[in-house]
């Protein structure tokens, strides 16, 4: 299916966090500056927060347009048809026969993680993560008095792997209560295989550590890559997990605040629902409901096309680095539309690297260090953009680095 992802769409004037605001210190929601980024020859290119610069699937826009035309936007809830669409998606795309009763809706994955930490830990308990990793994981633990422990990923020959022996030791600590799995892993773009996920499931079950599987990027796969949904790995995994999913990354609907949390184990689900009920979290908004259902029913051709385009962007960047910036290395992605690249060979400290990219090249990335100290010397770029924007960013990086 041909869809035009090449045309640049000006997002100025849409309240876009990515293009119109600047966030200091990696703490979304705080320290916001209003920044007009698009105007003038030296506009700063926004390649940080994870949303795409593409229109979402046309059937989604049509469903929302119909809903707008009704003109009344009161409190809203889901019907059976919604749950059927969600369950059918996971069965079809991920080979995971989700039952409708397992699905709990929330306004987002990060709010969900916050509720999980509140509901399943006591202050002083430990939450295990695998740095470098999506930085709001640190915040949800801290917000609730839990301590973050990192089972750091091992970086070798340009690739990452899990340190399962270290995980075994950390999970054995009686204070360790939760393990937040990021699968596929943001920022490194790794799609974990069945073998390592099964090992994680066994270690965590053995030590009574609940696995929170953040699978928000689970549909964003490079061509020929297979995703293993954690809960498909048998009862050891399925009975000890809370799986966070959302149509927001998959179909570019992040502003609609819609997430489906899937919990096969009834006791864990009820405990989560109790914690959710005491959090005063709002229910779903009317647009999120219709958009999610339309996306899961009719968005598949768009998703396949967008990931082909993103894979083309990843190839472009890898080839550009090899030809023009051989000191920089892309960690080859298998999933997500976020590329993690290694700038350590430039020999800059984290402030110098940030200033090089932001002040000199005028590109706003997510700096590697915000994902944990393991990310120092790396950058995360969002490549879900027209190729012309990527090309402009690559030229700017080349010119800035050559001027060093
Ligand atoms: C791994 C991961 N989890 C959660 C989120 C955010 O989810 P939400 O907007 O539903 O809170 C993101 C967004 O980039 C993410 O990368």
Instruction: Show the domain range for 80.
Output: 73-298
Q: 52 C-alpha vs ligand 1 centroid, how far in Å?
A: 13
3 within some domain: no
* Predicted confidence (pLDDT) per residue in 251-304, tens digit: 999 999 999 999 999 999 999 999 999 999 988 999 999 999 999 999 999 999
| Cβ contacts of 252 within 8 Å, gap of 6 or more | 51, 52, 54, 55, 56, 384
Nearest-CA residue for atom 14 of ligand 1: 50
Nearest Cα to Cα of residue 234 among 273, 199, 270, 190: 199
Tokens of 212: 């929170």
* Predicted confidence (pLDDT) per residue in 315-346, tens digit: 999 999 999 999 999 999 999 999 999 999 99
% of the chain beyond a pLDDT of 70: 95
Using the CB atoms, write b or e for 31-66: b if 16+ within 10 Å.
eeeeeebbeeeeebbbbbbbbbbbebbebbeebbee
202 within some domain: yes
* Domain boundary, last residue among 298, 317, 337: 298
Beta-bridged to residue 185, according to DSSP, are 190
* Predicted confidence (pLDDT) per residue in 357-403, tens digit: 999 999 999 999 999 999 999 999 999 999 999 999 999 999 999 99
* Predicted confidence (pLDDT) per residue in 111-154, tens digit: 999 999 999 999 999 999 999 999 999 999 999 999 999 999 99
For position 360, what pLDDT does the model report?
94
377 within some domain: yes
Asked whether the predicted pLDDT for residue 213 surpasses 80, the reply is: yes
Query: Domain containing 149 — which CATH number?
Result: 3.40.640.10
Q: 151 C-alpha vs ligand 1 centroid, how far in Å?
A: 20
Contact 289, 260 (CB under 8 A): no
Nearest Cα to Cα of residue 388 among 6, 108, 127: 6
* Domain boundary, last residue among 282, 298, 314: 298
Q: 2 C-alpha vs ligand 1 centroid, how far in Å?
A: 28
Across the chain, mean pLDDT equals 94
Nearest Cα to Cα of residue 23 among 340, 370, 258: 370
* Domain boundary, last residue among 251, 272, 298: 298
Q: Are residues 126 and 226 in the same domain?
A: yes
In order of 108, 149, 234, 364, the CA distances from 167 in angstroms are 27, 10, 20, 34
Q: Are residues 168 and 236 in the same domain?
A: yes
DSSP string, 292-316: HHHHHHH-HHHHHHHHHHHHHHHHH
Please give the angle made by the CA atoms of 368, 370 and 375, to the nearest 5 degrees: 35
Pocket test for ligand 1, best of 216, 220, 227, 247 (most atoms within 8 A of CB): 216
Who lines ligand 1 at CB under 6 A?
50, 108-110, 134, 182, 186, 214, 216, 246, 248, 254, 259
Instruction: State the pLDDT confidence band at 43, using cuts at 50, 70 and 90.
Output: confident
- Structural domain total, the chain: 2
* Predicted confidence (pLDDT) per residue in 180-207, tens digit: 999 999 999 999 999 999 999 999 999 9
8 within some domain: no
Q: Are residues 285 and 308 in the same domain?
A: no
Exposed (0-12), middle (13-18) or buried (19+): which is 376, by Cβ within 10 Å? middle
Q: Are residues 105 and 151 in the same domain?
A: yes
Asked whether the predicted pLDDT for residue 249 surpasses 90, the reply is: yes
For position 1, what pLDDT does the model report?
76
* Predicted confidence (pLDDT) per residue in 46-105, tens digit: 999 999 999 999 999 999 999 999 999 999 999 999 999 999 999 999 999 999 999 999
Q: 216 C-alpha vs ligand 1 centroid, how far in Å?
A: 6
Q: Are residues 262 and 135 in the same domain?
A: yes
Tokens of 143: 């917000």
Tokens of 298: 């009719």
Using only the alpha carbons of the chain, give its radius of gyration. 21
For position 39, what pLDDT does the model report?
46
């Amino acid at each position: 299916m041909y869809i035009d992802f090449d045309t640049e769409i000006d997002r100025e004037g849409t309240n876009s966090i990515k293009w119109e605001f600047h966030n200091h210190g990696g703490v979304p929601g705080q320290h916001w500056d209003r920044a007009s980024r698009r105007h003038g020859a030296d506009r700063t290119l926004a390649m940080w927060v994870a949303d795409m610069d593409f229109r979402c699937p046309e059937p989604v826009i049509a469903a929302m347009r119909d809903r707008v035309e009704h003109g009344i936007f009161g409190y809203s809830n889901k019907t059976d048809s919604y749950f059927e669409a969600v369950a059918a998606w996971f069965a079809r795309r991920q080979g995971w026969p989700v039952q409708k009763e397992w699905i709990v809706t929330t306004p987002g994955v990060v709010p969900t993680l916050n509720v999980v930490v509140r509901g399943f830990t006591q202050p002083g308990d430990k939450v295990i993560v695998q740095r470098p990793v999506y930085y709001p994981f640190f915040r949800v633990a801290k917000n609730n008095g839990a301590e973050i422990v990192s089972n750091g990923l091992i970086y070798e020959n340009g690739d990452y792997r899990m340190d399962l022996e270290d995980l075994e030791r950390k999970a054995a600590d009686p204070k360790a209560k939760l393990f937040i799995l990021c699968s596929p892993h943001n920022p490194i773009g790794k799609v974990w295989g069945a073998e390592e996920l099964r090992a994680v499931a066994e270690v965590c079950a053995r030590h009574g550590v609940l696995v929170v599987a953040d699978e928000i990027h689970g549909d964003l796969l490079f061509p020929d890559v297979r995703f293993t949904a954690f809960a498909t790995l048998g009862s050891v995994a399925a009975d000890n997990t809370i799986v966070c999913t959302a149509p927001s990354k998959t179909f570019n609907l992040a502003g609609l605040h819609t997430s489906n949390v899937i919990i096969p184990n009834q006791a864990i689900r009820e405990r989560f629902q109790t914690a959710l009920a005491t959090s005063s979290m709002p229910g779903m908004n009317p647009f999120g409901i219709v958009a999610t259902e339309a996306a899961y029913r009719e968005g598949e051709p768009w998703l396949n096309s967008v990931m082909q385009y993103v894979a083309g962007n990843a190839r472009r960047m890898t080839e550009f680095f090899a030809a023009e910036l051989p000191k920089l290395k892309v960690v080859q992605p298998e999933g997500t539309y976020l590329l993690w690249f290694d700038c350590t060979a430039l020999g800059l400290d984290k402030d110098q690297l940030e200033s090089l990219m932001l002040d000199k090249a005028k590109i706003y990335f997510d700096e590697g260090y915000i994902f944990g100290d393991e990310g120092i010397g790396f950058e995360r770029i969002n490549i879900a953009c027209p190729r012309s924007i990527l090309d402009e960013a690559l030229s700017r990086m080349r010119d800035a680095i050559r001027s060093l």
